Structure 1
Amino acid sequence: MADRPDLADLRRRAEAGEARAQYALAAALSGAGAREEAERWLRAAADGGEPDALYTLATRRCGTRASLPDAVSLLERAAAGGSPAAERLLAVLYADGLGVAADWAAATRFALSAARRGHAGAQREIAMLLFAADGEDADAADLIEAAARRDAVAAAVCARRAAQGRAGADRALARDCVKKLAAARYPNAGALAAALSAGEEARAPYVVPSTESLDWDRIAEKLAAPPPAPVASAERLCEAPAARVFRDAFAAEECEYVIAAGAPFLRPSQIADPRTGESRADPYRNSLAAVLGPVDLDLALVAFNRRLAALAGRPAENGEFLALLCYAPGQEYRPHGDWLPPGPDRERGGQRAATALLYLNDDYEGGETHFLAPDIRFRGATGDVLVFENAGPDGAPDPASRHAGLPVARGVKWLASKWFRERRYAF
C-alpha cells in the first residue's frame, strides 16, 4: 500500500536525514501498527539528536535502577536540545538521586528552566513547592493561575484553592477551570463544582497574571533548599498494630494535586505476584489505581513522597512508588496484610515494614480503614496521614496489622498509599 501524501513527505524528509521528520514518521508508523519500522526511525532520530526521540528512549530506561544512568545521559542530551519534558524528568532524577548523585540545586535548576520558558507543568510544580513553605505565597499564586489556562492539574489546584477560600484565589478563574475540567472528564470535577458552589459568587471576570514580570531569581532563592520536614504531632490510634495519625499533614490543594496528577493513569487495580513478578487482577481490591513511578513524577510529588517518608520515620529511598486509589460506591479493599511472603521481591528490598495512607478527600460515606484484630475503624479527614507498622523488628509479619478498606456507601473515596521497605526499594 502506498503512503498517504503527508506520510510520503515525512518519509522523504526522514530519508534525507531530517531528525525531526524521522521522529514524526516513527510516531505515525507506531500509530499505524508498524512497530518495527517505527522503532528504526525513532532510533535514527535519537542518533540525530532529536530531543523528543531522546526523551522517549530515556523514559524506557526509567523502569529499573540499573538502567537509570543511561536514562540520565539521554535526558541530558534532550535537555540540551531544548526539551522541557527532559528537564522536568531530570529534575526528578536529580532530586531523588536516581541514576545520578542526588543534587537538589541541579533539580530545581532544571525545573526552573522549563518554567521560565513557559512550560505550564513546570510552572505548577514550582508553585506547589512554594506553597509547601507558604500557603499564601504570591509568586506561587501567580504561577498556578497562569498555568491553569493550559494545564489540568494546575486548573484543579486553582479550583480547590478558591473552594478553600485561600487569600487572593480567583473564584471566576476557578469556575472556568471547573467547566474545562468537567469537559475533559476529570473524575473529581463534580466534587470541585460542589465545593465552589458553597462559596460566594464571583463578582468580576478574572485576569490571568503574566509570568513575564516574575522575579525568577527570588523564586530560585526560595527553592534553594528542599521543602522543610513536616512539623506534626502524632496521635496514637492503637498499640497493636502500632498505628498513629498525623492530622492536616497535607493541604487540601496538595491533595487535589495528587488526584489530578494521578488521574490520567487510573486503571483497574492489579498486583505484582511476589513470586513471579507478573501483573494480575487484585483479588482483594476492586478500586481503580495508579502507581506513579519516576516518569510520572514531578518535583512537587517528590516533595510529597519525602513528607510521607518523614511522617513514617523511614528513609525516602525505602519507599515503594506512590499509589493513587479511587473507590466508587460499593468498592472496597477486602481484609489483607501489606506484608510480603518470602520470595525474591522480599529478598531484594526487605519486608514491607510500614504503610502510610494519605486521605485525599472526605466528602463520601463509608470507606473506613478497619483494623480487624483491635476492631478499630478510622476515617481520615482531607490531608490526614495514617501510618502503621506491618512487621516487627525481625521482619516477621504482625497479624494485628490485617486491615480492610470498607465499602464506600456514597460518593467517591480518594486515597494515596505508600509502602516502606526495610531497605532501599529495589526496582
Structure 2
Amino acid sequence: MGIAVTTGSILLYLLCGLVPLSIVAYFLATKKTFSVKYEGEKFHSTPGSYGWYAIICTLSPALLASFIAVLLQLSGLVEVPGTAFVATGILFAALGLWLGVQTIKPRLKARSIVEQLIVKMLFVASLVSIFTTIGIVISVTFEAIKFFDIVSLWDFVTGTTWNPDEAVTGSDVQGVFGSIPLFAGTFMITAIAMLVAVPVGLFSAICMAEYATPSFRKVAKPALEILAGIPTVVYGFFAAITVSPLVVNIAEYLGLQADFTNALSPGLVMGVMIIPLISSLSDDVITSVPNALREGSLAMGAYRSETIKTVVLPAALPGIVSAFLLAVSRAVGETMIVVMAAGLRANLTWNPLEGMTTVTVRIVDAFTGDQAFDSPETLSAFGLGLVLLVVTLVLNVISLVVIRRFRQQYE
C-alpha cells in the first residue's frame, strides 16, 4: 500500500497550519492576561508562560492525531490521503487552540505545566541515544548470530586467514573467515596514528594552555583546528599520492622494501587528522585546572615545567585519557584513508611497510559487492561489527577505571 502523505502535504501542514495557529494561540493567550475581565486579579504566571501553555494545547492534539495517522498508514491498515491528513491536523489544532485559550484563568499554574513538559521532553531526548545504542547492538547481534551459525565463532576469532572469495565458490566456509589479520591491521594503523597524534596533540595543548601568549593562542588554535574540518577523502588523496611514494622512496634509500599500499602511510596521515581532537580536548581540560594548584607549586619554588609535569597533568589526567579514548575510537572507525592508501589485502604481519587493511574497510567492502545479503561474506560484516563493539566496550571500561581512579585522587 503506497504512502499517500507526501512531503508537500507535511510542509503545507506545518507552514500553513500548525505554525500560524501556534502564533495566534500565543498572541491570544498573552492578550487574555491583560483583559479587562480579569482587571485587579493577579495571574499565577507570566504572560509568556500562558502563551506557551496555549501553544502546547494547540500542538498536542494535532501531533497526537498525526502520529496515529502515520502509524495506521505504516501498518497498512488505512491509507491516509494527504488532504485528509492536513485537514484533520489543522482541525485538531484549532480545537486545541480554542480549549487552551478558554482555560486560561488567573489561578491556572501555566508556568508549572510548561516546565513539567520541558522536563519530560528533556528526559525523552536523553533516552534517544540510549535506545539508539540498544537498537544498534540488537540489530548487529541478531545478524551476527546468523553468521556464526554458518562459521564457527572460534575459527572466526582465532583464524589467521581472511579470504571470503573461497566461501562464494566453495561449500565449506570454515577456515576462510579468520578475523585476526583484520584486527591486527586495525590495531597496527591505530597504533601508528596514536604515536603521531598523542605527543603532538598533547604537547600543542600544553603549549596553548601554559606557554602561549593570548595573541599567539588566538591565531594558532583556530589554525590547528582547521585540520579537523578537512574531509577524510582529502586526507586519503594526500596519503595515497604524497605520503605513500615518500615512504617508498625513504625505505629504498634505507635499503628496505615498501609497498605503495603500506600501513605506515595511512597511520601517519590519520595521526595528523586526529591531532586537533586531542589538542582541543586536552587544552580545555588543562585550562580548567584551578590556578591555585599552579600557584601553590610555583610558591614552593618549582619551575613551570615541573609544575606542569607533577601538578597540572596529573590533575587533568582524567580528561586527557578521555581525549585519547575518543582519538582511538576515531582512528579505529576511519575507513576512507585506509582504503585509498593501504588497500584491501588482509595481511597478518608486523611490518608496517606492507599492505594491510582494517575491520571497517572489510565491513564496507562486504556491503558494496554484488553478493546476496544472506551470503556468508555479507553476514561476516555483522560478525566483525559485533567483535568491534566488544573491543570498544572493553576500551571504554578500562578508560572509566583510569578516569575514576585519578579523579578520586585529585579531587
**Larger RCO: 1 or 2 (CA < 8 Å, sep 6+):** 2
Q: Structure 2 length normalisation: TM-score? A: 0.17
Q: Which has the higher strand share?
A: 1
**TM-score between both structures, scaled by the size of structure 1:** 0.17
Greater share of helix residues, 1 or 2?
2
